[in-house]
Chain A
Amino acid sequence: LIGLRHYEFKFEFPRAEPPLWKDRVSRWYQLDAYAYGLAEGAYRWMEFESPDLVILASPLASNETDCSFVDSGFASPSKFAHTLPNIRCSPFCQVMDWSGPVLCLQRDPRTQTLALVEGFELVTSRFSRVWILSVIRQEFHYKVHCLELSKNLSGFVMAKNKFESSEMSTVGYSAADDSELLSWFDGQKPEVKARLCFANDGFHTYEIRKEF
């Protein structure tokens, strides 16, 4: 069993005021919303025990910034720099004063779900603490998510089981995509509060439940 915690916060972008971490990131005013969100997350969570691997799960990659670069007439180098989805991790590292391995993963519409699976497997086999970071655009704001995995964490627990097709139909429900995973954490589906199961490779299921 692996311990799991979920942190999140909303923010609006662009912001009128300079951020509290402005002295830690050079040219902070050129960051896109996603890089800004992760830098803000790093500032809020910098007192936590540091991860030894970060997975950057990027649903829709950098599509929003890509459009913005095209709209600039392909002329803005600072916008182009943010058209790589891994770039947003740089200000995160600058604010946290952290360096280490980062995997930037994509597999829409299951980017965060599969990143969670990879995080679970990496904590099981080799790393002691993994953070899975995402920034999601919602209608009028953005939301930053951090899923922290470690063997000694209280909160939720995550486990891997052999695939039993009968179990999938009777326990919780199958998270087909990221929106179901996030809504489970948000508690928006009261009928499935207790457990969340989802399949990955056809041989195993992964299960998250609240630790009582």
Chain B
Amino acid sequence: LIIEGTLQHNVAPTKGEKVLNILAYGCTSSAGPTVTDFFDGLRDGKDHSQMFEDPHLSRICRWQTGLQNLSSLEKITTQLLLAWNQIKDQKIDISELGIIFASTKGCIEDFFNGQTVTSDPLTPILDLFIKKSELKATLSICVSNACSSTLAALFLAEQWILQKRAKSVLVLSADEIGPFVNRGFYSLKALSQTKSQPFGAHRDGLQLGEAASAILLGESESAEIEIIGVGIDTEGFAIARPSHSGDSLFKSCEMAIHAHTPDLIIAHGTGTVANDEVEDQVLSRLFQKKHVPITSTKWSIGHTLGASASMDLIAACEVLRTQNVFSISNTEEIDLKFQCHYLNGKKMVRQFQVEQILLTSLGFGGVHGAAFLKRVHH
């Protein structure tokens, strides 16, 4: 399946080592309402999935909240505000702020409760968040690029800052797993009947998860994390699976890494047969025999859809900050066909020097993305 030859960018690569920083971040997930809960779960090898009410369906990683009686709009906005509050306390200058909300289905669950629908399902959440947070946004928009939504939002945020239309950009990401989404994935036969085992020999599908995050981007000389590059690409192959060649994901990674080699990769790693196969092929082709270690997060907090890349981004920031690298704990045995070097099994935390991390993301409809992060030494 390996394709020889060099791919050509169909867009001009961005200007090398630009300085776009991650200034602060916060999140809520099935692990709990803070970044610490999320990262501790990864380090401790904890799978946060629980059985869903409907026994025919799969295990789900749900938010730990008492918000069950709220509408989706209120529930998701509350989670985003919880994530934002973790940033707000750091008192960073947010004048000339842009806000982007990334999600696949937003508050879609509300649309079948007899309400008159006059909008897309993302805009009401962004509007309510702006109202409740009392933030003054000069620009605001929603991005819905399937499971690569956060990386597409990051791509747009980078443009806003380079175009000097915003000094800082708050990228919000969230998805809720209600009956609509869960039954949809069930109809696709994409859900694991056992547990999520990314890159495993016995992987049988994904488990869904809920998460909300807030990531503040901007330029700062004192920031600890720099985004070297973001790449997005869309291919016309098939609606529900990536192309066998993985060319589009390969292009996204090339755009993001600018010929650098990462010390670690946090892969999309859904645990589905097709996705993991394509990722392994693309990453082995990109880095050949360099044996870059690969880990992932979905085995712990589930596939959080539009928020999944934001959770990977936060995990990457925490790895760069703490130098603690987590494994893919659920996966005991890696697929023997795979060529890359995966960190799996019960050895929970490894410590080695990590200066640069690559993230990858694959989405339905052939929308793919990658981001490359670097630790800044002061």
Inter-chain contact B120/A63, CB cutoff 8 Å: yes
Inter-chain contact B11/A100, CB cutoff 8 Å: yes
Task: Report the stretch among B136-144, B208-216, B295-303, B314-322 that lies at the interface.
Answer: B136-144
Q: Using a CB-CB cutoff of 8 Å, which residues 88-140 of chain B contact chain A?
A: 104-105, 108, 111-112, 117-123, 126, 138-140
Partner of B165, one of A85, A94, A104, A201: A201
| CB contact under 8 A between A202 and B122, given known A90-B236, A101-B234, A121-B159 | no
| CB contact under 8 A between A93 and B235, given known A87-B364, A106-B142, A201-B138 | yes
Docked CA distance A84–B236 (Å): 15
| CB contact under 8 A between A99 and B187, given known A87-B365, A201-B139, A201-B165 | no
Check A43 for interface membership: any CB of B closer than 8 A.
Answer: no
Docked CA distance A107–B126 (Å): 9
Inter-chain contact A100/B155, CB cutoff 8 Å: no
Partner of A121, one of B112, B145, B165, B232: B165
Inter-chain contact B118/A108, CB cutoff 8 Å: yes
**CB-defined interface of A91-131 with B at 8 Å, one 1/0 digit per residue?**
11111111111111111110100100010011011110000
Inter-chain contact A63/B155, CB cutoff 8 Å: no
What is the distance, in angstroms, from B143's C-beta to the closest C-beta of chain A? 6
Closest B residue to A69 by CB, please name it: B184
Check B287 for interface membership: any CB of A closer than 8 A.
Answer: no
Docked CA distance A75–B56 (Å): 13
| CB contact under 8 A between A103 and B145, given known A86-B365, A89-B234, A93-B234 | yes
Closest A residue to B243 by CB, please name it: A99
What is the distance, in angstroms, from A144's C-beta to the closest C-beta of chain B? 17
Check A52 for interface membership: any CB of B closer than 8 A.
Answer: yes
Query: At the interface, is chain B mostly helix, strand, loop or mixed?
Result: mixed
Docked CA distance A106–B143 (Å): 6
Across-interface contacts of B251 in A (CB, < 8 A): 99
Inter-chain contact A106/B236, CB cutoff 8 Å: no
Inter-chain contact A97/B112, CB cutoff 8 Å: no
Inter-chain contact B11/A81, CB cutoff 8 Å: no
Inter-chain contact A84/B104, CB cutoff 8 Å: yes
Partner of A60, one of B14, B119, B235, B237: B119
Across-interface contacts of B108 in A (CB, < 8 A): 66
What is the distance, in angstroms, from A116's C-beta to the closest C-beta of chain B? 12
What is the distance, in angstroms, from B118's C-beta to the closest C-beta of chain A? 7
Check B238 for interface membership: any CB of A closer than 8 A.
Answer: yes
Check B43 for interface membership: any CB of A closer than 8 A.
Answer: no
Inter-chain contact B11/A70, CB cutoff 8 Å: no
Check A59 for interface membership: any CB of B closer than 8 A.
Answer: yes
Inter-chain contact B111/A91, CB cutoff 8 Å: no
Q: Using a CB-CB cutoff of 8 Å, which residues 323-378 of chain B contact chain A?
A: 363-367
Check A200 for interface membership: any CB of B closer than 8 A.
Answer: yes
Check B239 for interface membership: any CB of A closer than 8 A.
Answer: yes
Docked CA distance A191–B43 (Å): 65
Inter-chain contact A99/B247, CB cutoff 8 Å: yes
Question: Which of A81, A89, A99, A125 has most chain B Cβ within 10 Å?
Answer: A99
Check A132 for interface membership: any CB of B closer than 8 A.
Answer: no
Q: Using a CB-CB cutoff of 8 Å, which residues 241-299 of chain B contact chain A?
A: 247-248, 251
Docked CA distance A100–B247 (Å): 11
Can you show 5 pairs from A to B with CB atoms below 8 A apart?
Answer: A76-B187, A93-B234, A100-B233, A104-B367, A107-B120
- A-B pairs with the 3 shortest C-beta distances? A93-B236, A94-B236, A74-B183
